[in-house]
Amino acid sequence: MNTIGIIGAMPSELKDIRSMLGSEEIISKSGFDFHINYIGNRKIVNVCCGIAKVNAAVCCQVLIDNFCVDAIINTGIAGGMNNDVKVCDIVVSNEVLAHDLDLHFLDNYPPYCSIFKADSHLIECAVNTCKLLGMNSFVGRIVSGEAFISSNEVKNDILAKFNPYAVDMESSAIGHCAFLNKTPFVSVRCISDNADDDGAMSFDEFEKIAAKRVADIVMKMIESI
C-alpha cells in the first residue's frame, strides 16, 4: 500500500503519532488540517476529525477524495464494554455500527448495510503488532454514538442490544464512509475507561496513557501493512 490515512478525533489522540513521524507538510481541506509524512516511499496522512459521527464522516470523505488513501486506520481511545476488557487493553474492530440509530433505516434504505466490516488484513496487522509489543488485545465489535458513556444504566442497555467490546463516538461513521468508498479500514482503540458511573474520572486519569499505547501500535502497524 502506498498511502495510509490515520484519523483521530482529538489532538491528544494524534500527538504522539505526530511526534514520532517528525516534520510534516500540512494541507488544509474543508476545514481539516491533513498532516503528510513519508516513511520510505509510503505516504502517511493523519488528520484530527473532531468528536462525533458527522465530523468523522465528513473528514473521512475529504481524506479519501483528496489523498487517494489505500487504507484507513481510525486510532484513539474508547470506553470498555465487555467484562473481559480492562483499562489500557486494546480493542481492534472486526465490525462497527451505531448504537443510537434504528439500524433498519440503513438496512432498508441506502446504503442497505448497517454493520460495517473491518478489513481482515488490517485486523491481522493490528493483532500481530499488539502481540509484538506485549499489549493485551481483543478483536470485536465497536459501537458509536453521540454521547460519552458514563452511566451503568446506559452501558447495560447498549450491552444488551449490541454486545460490543468497546464504545466510542466515531468508528461507525468512519466504517460507514469507508464502506461506501470501498476503502479498507480498521479501528484500533485503547480503553481509557469502563463506560460506567466512574467513566469520567477514569478517562481523565488514563487518557494520555491510552493515547500513547495506541500510537505505538499504529506506528508499528505501518511497517507491516
Contacts of 20 (CB under 8 A, 6+ apart): 215, 219
Is residue 13 flagged as an active site residue?
A: yes
Grid coordinates of 50: 473532531
pLDDT value at position 161?
A: 96
Tell me the domain boundaries of the chain. 3-224
146 is catalytic: no
Band of pLDDT at residue 138, cut at 50, 70 and 90: very high
Tens-digit pLDDT profile for residues 87-134: 889 999 999 999 999 999 999 999 999 999 999 999 999 999 999 999
**Cα distance from N-terminal residue to C-terminal residue, the chain:** 7
Taken in order 28, 147, 100, 138, the sign of the CA dihedral is: positive
Statement: 3-224 belongs to CATH 3.40.50.2000:
no
Find the catalytic residue in 16, 119, 193, 216.
193
pLDDT per residue as tens digits for the range 12-61: 999 999 999 988 899 999 999 999 999 988 999 999 999 999 999 999 99
